[in-house]
């Protein structure tokens, strides 16, 4: 039987995603990733260059995945945000890894920071191209689109960053019931935001 390098890479990636989401970068162990992936440690270093680079690759890939799942459409903001909410509910590992990254890395440089920043710049350009803050001149228009996107991401992501608060504040014993309520509320809030001129406060006084 021939060695399938791509299948090995895929298994390592999937095992690393689970390990990093559960333990963070500092707590993750290459030995556990290798065992879960049915691979040897040398393959991880060969394909990814070590634990830190593997963590960066996993986070970048998950961010790319959510970005390509569906763009934020200002003309159908409720539907776009609802799809984003559903993706995060189905893939809680990204929020967990971002939280670990924030706790462990602080304000320091991130693995793959330039590539990740470039991807978000592409998203912002798409928003500007779709008409967000069209009444503003540059660079205020781009800044408004950046603020708008970050607000929407926070509106969705907070529900999965602190599921215990979601359950407690809403006074629901069932986490799924709490998230269903939150999805309805988040979509309604996004539609209310879309009905207003985006980030009017960004206009210089």
Q: What is the mean pLDDT of residues 32-43?
A: 92
Best CA proximity match to 11, nearest among 30, 36, 32: 36
What gap in Å lies between CA 48 and CA 50, rounded to an integer? 6
Best CA proximity match to 13, nearest among 53, 73, 67: 53
**146 occurs within a structural domain:** yes
Strand (E) or helix (H) holding 15: helix 5-27
Strand (E) or helix (H) holding 180: helix 175-194
pLDDT in tens, 119-143: 889 888 888 888 888 888 999 999 9
**20 occurs within a structural domain:** no
Best CA proximity match to 64, nearest among 19, 24, 120, 20: 120
Distances, alpha carbon 152 to alpha carbons 72, 109, 113, 169, 193, in Å? 9, 24, 21, 21, 9
Cβ 170 vs Cβ 158: under 8 Å: no
Number of domains, the chain: 1
Cβ 161 vs Cβ 99: under 8 Å: yes
**131 occurs within a structural domain:** yes
pLDDT in tens, 137-164: 999 999 998 998 899 889 999 999 988 8
**134 occurs within a structural domain:** yes
**28 occurs within a structural domain:** no
**42 occurs within a structural domain:** no
198 has pLDDT over 70: no
pTM of the model: 0.81
- At 3, the pLDDT band (50, 70, 90 cuts) reads low
Tell me how far the alpha carbon of residue 106 is from its chain's centroid: 17
């Amino acid at each position: 039987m021939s060695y399938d390098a791509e299948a090995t890479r895929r298994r390592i990636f999937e095992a690393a995603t689970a390990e990093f989401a559960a333990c963070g970068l500092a707590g993750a162990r290459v030995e556990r990733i290798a065992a879960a992936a049915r691979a040897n440690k040398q393959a991880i270093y060969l394909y990814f260059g070590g634990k830190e680079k593997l963590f960066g690759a996993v986070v970048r890939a998950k961010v790319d995945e959510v970005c390509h799942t569906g763009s934020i459409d200002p003309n159908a903001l409720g539907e776009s945000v609802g799809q984003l909410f559903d993706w995060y509910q189905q893939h809680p590992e990204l929020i967990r890894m971002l939280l670990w990254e924030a706790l462990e890395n602080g304000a320091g440089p991130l693995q793959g920071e330039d590539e990740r920043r470039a991807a978000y710049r592409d998203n912002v350009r798409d928003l500007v191209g779709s008409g967000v803050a069209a009444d503003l001149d540059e660079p205020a228009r781009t800044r408004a689109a950046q603020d708008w996107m970050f607000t929407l991401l926070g509106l969705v992501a907070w529900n999965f960053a602190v599921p215990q608060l979601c359950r407690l504040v809403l006074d629901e014993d069932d986490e799924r019931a709490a998230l269903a309520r939150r999805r309805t509320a988040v979509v309604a809030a996004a539609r209310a935001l879309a009905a207003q001129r985006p980030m009017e406060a960004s206009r210089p006084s």
